[in-house]
Amino acid sequence: MLLIFKVAVVLLVGFIGGKVAKRFKLPEVSGYLVFGLILGPSLMLLFGGGEGFITSIDQNTLKFISEIALAFIAFSIGSEFSISQMKKVGKKINTITMLEVIGVVIAVFLILFFIPKPEPIMTGYQPFSSGNIAFGLILASMSAATAPAATLMVMRQYRAYGPLTKTVLPVTALDDIYGIVIFGFFISIAQMLTSTTSMPVWLMITKPFIEVFGSIIIGLVLGFVLSKIVVKFDKIRDDMQVLSIIVVFLGIGVSVQLNNYFSQYNLGISSLLINIMIGTMIANMVKKPQGVFNSLNDFTTPFYVVFFTLAGASLNLGIIKTSVLVSILAVAYIIARGFGKYAGARTGAKITDAEPVVQKYLGFALLPQGGVSLGLLVVVSSQMPTFYPLISTIIMLSILIYETTGPIFAKYAISKAGEINGLDKLDQLSSIEGIA
Which residues make Cβ contacts (< 8 Å) with residue 400, sequence separation at least 6? 30, 33, 34
Q: Is 299 exposed, middle or buried (0-12, 13-18, 19+ CB in 10 A)?
A: middle
Write out the E strands in 294-410: none
Given this model, what pLDDT does residue 99 score?
92
pTM above threshold 0.75: yes
Write out pLDDT tens, residues 54-73.
888 888 888 888 888 888 87
Q: What percent of the chain has pLDDT over 90?
A: 15
Which residues make Cβ contacts (< 8 Å) with residue 141, sequence separation at least 6? 105, 179, 182, 183, 185, 186, 187, 376
Give how far Cα 397 sits from Cα of 338, 349, 369, Å.
Answer: 14, 29, 10
Write out pLDDT tens, residues 208-260.
788 888 888 999 998 888 888 877 776 677 787 888 888 888 888 888 888 88
Class of CATH domain 2-435: mainly alpha
Q: At what angle do helices 297-314 and 237-261 cross, to 10 degrees?
A: 40
- Per-residue pLDDT band for 49 (boundaries 50, 70, 90) equals low
Q: Which DSSP helix (H) or strand (E) runs through 7?
A: helix 2-23
Distance CA 173, CA 147 (A): 9
Distance CA 84, CA 324 (A): 50
Given this model, what pLDDT does residue 85 score?
65
More confident residue, 83 or 353: 353
For the chain, the domains span 2-435
Distance CA 43, CA 376 (A): 25
Given this model, what pLDDT does residue 432 score?
45
